[in-house]
Amino acid sequence: MTTGKKVRVKVRTVNGNYKGDLLIPPMRKRVSDVMNEDNQKFVSLTDVRIDASKEVIPFMAINKDMIESIIEELE
- For the stretch 8-67, pLDDT in tens is 999 999 999 999 999 998 888 899 999 999 999 999 999 999 998 999 999 999 999 999
SS3 readout for 2-58: CCCEEEEEEEEECCCEEEEEEEECCCCCCHHHHHCCCCCCEEEEEEEEECCCCCCEE
Cα gap 68→74, rounded to integer Å = 20
Structural domain spans, the chain: 5-72
Sign of CA dihedral 63, 44, 68, 38: negative
* Residue 75, pLDDT score: 65
CATH number, domain 5-72, options 3.10.450.50, 3.30.565.10, 2.30.30.100, 2.40.50.140: 2.30.30.100
C-beta separation of 34 from 17 below 8 A: no
